[in-house]
Structure 1
Amino acid sequence: MFHDLFTTPSKSRKLPKSIPVTLSTRIRLARNLREFPFPGRAETSQKRAVLTKCMDALSVVKGLSDSFSVEVDDLSELDRQILVEKHLISPELSQVEEGSGIVLSEDRNCCIMINEEDHLRIQVLRPGLDFGSVWKLADALDTGIESAISYAYDGELGFLTACPTNLGTGMRASVMMHLPGLVMSKNMDKVINAVNQLGIAVRGLFGEGSDANGSIFQISNQQTLGESETAIIERLDSTLKNIVRQENFAREKLLQDDGVRLMDKMSRAVGNLKTCYLMQSSEAMDCLSLVRLASDFGMLPEKYRNLADRMFIEVQPGHVQLSAGKPVEAGFRDSLRAELLRKEFLRAPQIDPSPAAG
C-alpha cells in the first residue's frame, strides 16, 4: 500500500533541530495547463488527459526522478488521511474520486497535487523557518515543469488560476507557528485582526476551517496579484518575525505574572502523557503543546521539543491506525494513542523550574 513508504525512514539528510515558535515552512504554487479547462469545469476525459500529461512531464523533472506517483482513486481512505495529516495533500484532494494524482519526492519534502482546484499544486515543505531554501526549490521545480508543459499565463494578470484569489504569482507562502503564549494571554484574536489588515491570513492546523489544536496556527499571504514572489515572502517574513517577538513577550509575561500556574500546567501535561490510558487527539495536542513550551523555556531537555513535533503528527487518527496496521474505531484509537504516548514519554523528567528563576 502507498502508506507503507511512511513506515520506512526517508533517505534525506538528517533533519535540522526544531526551534521555538516556528515548526515548518511551506510554499505552494498554483499552475494550470493552457490547453485544458480548469479541473472544476473539465470532463473526466479531460482531467485524465491532464493527469497523464503532468505525470509524464514530472517524471523527467530534476529532483523528481526517484519520486513516488499514484492516482488518488488508487489510495485507500487511510492512505489519504495520512497524507492530509502530514500536510502533503489538501483535505479537498483527499475527497476527489477520479482523474487526480500525487507525485511525492523521495525525501518527502515536495508533493505535487494534480487536478485539485488547479491542474498543478506544487508544494515544498521544510522544518523550521526557511523561506530561502524552500523558495529556491519550489522555483526550480516550477521552471523544470514549465519546460515540458505550457502554463496558462496572461501578460497582465500573471498565472491564471481557478480561484481569483490565487491569480498572479499563484503563490501561497506559509509557516506553521506554535503560539501558546498569545493563546493563553488571550491576545491571539488581536494578532489575527492586525495581520489580516496586512493581507496575512491565519488558519488552524489543517488550513481553512480547521481548529488550532495545540495552539498551532498556519500563517500565510493572502495577496498574490500585483506583487512579486520575493516581495510577498519579504513582507510575510517581516510579519512573522513580529509575531515571534509578540509570542516571546507573551510567554515571559505569563511566567512573570503567574509562573507557578504555568509551571503547574506544563508539569501536569508531562504527567498526563506519562500515565494516560485513554487520550483523544485534541487533548494530546494540548499536552504536547505544553511540553514544547517547557522545552522552549529550558525546563525540559531540547529533545522533548523534537519529540513533541513528531508526536503532533503521530497522534492524529490516521497515524494511530497506520501504527496499528489497520483501520481502528475511534474509541480504541484513544487507547492506542495513550499507549504510544506512555512509551514515548516514559523517561521524561519532571519540569525543572530553575531556568525561570534565572
Structure 2
Amino acid sequence: MTFFKTLFLSMLFLLTACAQTSQTIKQTNSDLNSALSLTAGIVTGAQQPNLYLEQLKGKRLGLVVNQTSMVNNQHLVDFLLAQGLQINKIFAPEHGFRGDHDAGAKVNSSVDGKTGISIVSIYGKNKKPSAEALNDVDVLIFDIQDVGLRYYTYISSMHYMMEAAAENDKIFIVFDRPNPNGFTVDGPVLDLKFQSFVGMHQIPLMHGMTVGELAKMINGEGWLKNAVKVNLTVIPVSNYDRHMSYYLPVKPSPNLPNDVSIALYASLTFFEGTPVSIGRGTDFPFQVIGFDKFGLGDFTFTPRAIKGASMTPKLKGKLVKGVDLRQSAIRGVNLDHLVDWHHLFVENDEEFFTLAPFFDKLAGTDKLRKQIISGLSSVEIRSSWQSELNAFLQQRQQYLLYP
C-alpha cells in the first residue's frame, strides 16, 4: 500500500469511524474505501426528474425547501421553473429559505426576490400552514437535507407539512436524500411526556432513517394529528444503502459547517442545556467543548458574535478552556464527555444542568439527566436504552427503502 493511499484511508477513517455501540456499523478501511467510491454514484430524489416531472405537470406546487435543495448546481425552485412547472408557494423552515438565519431566529414570511414567489414561514409561531395558505397548492414537495437526529427540526417541519397536506387533501411528495448518520441507531427513545418541536416522534435520538423513510413511518404509524393519512409519494435515492458514508455538498445549517460537526452533533448538543460552550460563535461549532472557569483539556477559544451565531453565543468574549474534537472519530451518542464534564462541575461546586427542562427536551426524557446525577457510568446508561432500541429496529423495518 502506498504512503498516499495509507494517508487517505487514515483521514477517511477519522471522519467516518463509528463509536463501539451495539447499533453502530463497524467498517474497515477497505469497506470505507468501497463506500466512498459508491458515494460518488449516489443520485438524490431531486436529481431524477424522470421519476416525478410527468406527475407534476399542470399542478400548482408548494415547495418545502432551503439552501440544500439542489439539483446538481441548480436550486430545485429554479430547476422546476425551467421545466415550465408552476410554483405558487415556498415554505421556509428553521434557518430560512436561504439557510442564513441563526438557530432559533425568527423566520418571516416574505417574497423571493429572484422569482417573486411568496415565501411562507413554517418556523416560529406558525409551524403549520393554514388552509388559506394552501388554497393555491395541489402538491407539496419536501426536499431538505437532514442529518439523522431527532432534535434537528427539519423533520418536525416535515411532520406539520404532512399534517396540513392530509387535512387539506393535498398530495405530499418527498424528494429523498441520504442520511449522513444513516448507519447509526442510538440514544434514548422519546418519552411522549417530553414531546416538543425538537422531539416529536417516539424514535431514538439517532434513528438511522432518511426523511423519506421517516415520512412513511409517520404516516404508517398514525403519528399525524387525529391519525390522518396523507397521500404520500417518496422519490427514492438511487445507488444508496444506509451503510454508506455520505458527505454533504451544502452545509445543512449555519452551525453544522462540515462532516466532523455532523458526526459530533449527537454527542455535543446535550451541552446546550448546560453552561458549557460547544463552539457556537467560533469557526468550529459543534467540534469543541469548553468553559471559562475551569476545563478538561488545554485547548482555548473565545466565542464571538459571527454570522450563524449572532444572537450572543454562550460565553461570548470569554477565554474558554477545554478540548478540541476536530480529529475525533466519535460517532453515535458518546456520553463520556458529558459524564466527565458533569463530574468536573460537581467537583467545583458549580451547577451543571442550568437549563434542565431544555436538556430533557433534547434527550426526550428526564432519565438521562437523572442517571448522570446519580453517578451512573456511560456504559450503564447506554445499556438502559437497548430494549427500546431493539423494539424500534423491528418497528421501523416495514418502512425502510434502502438495504
Query: What TM-score do the two structures reach when normalised by structure 1?
Result: 0.29
Greater fraction helix: 1
Q: What is the TM-score of this pair, normalised by structure 2?
A: 0.26
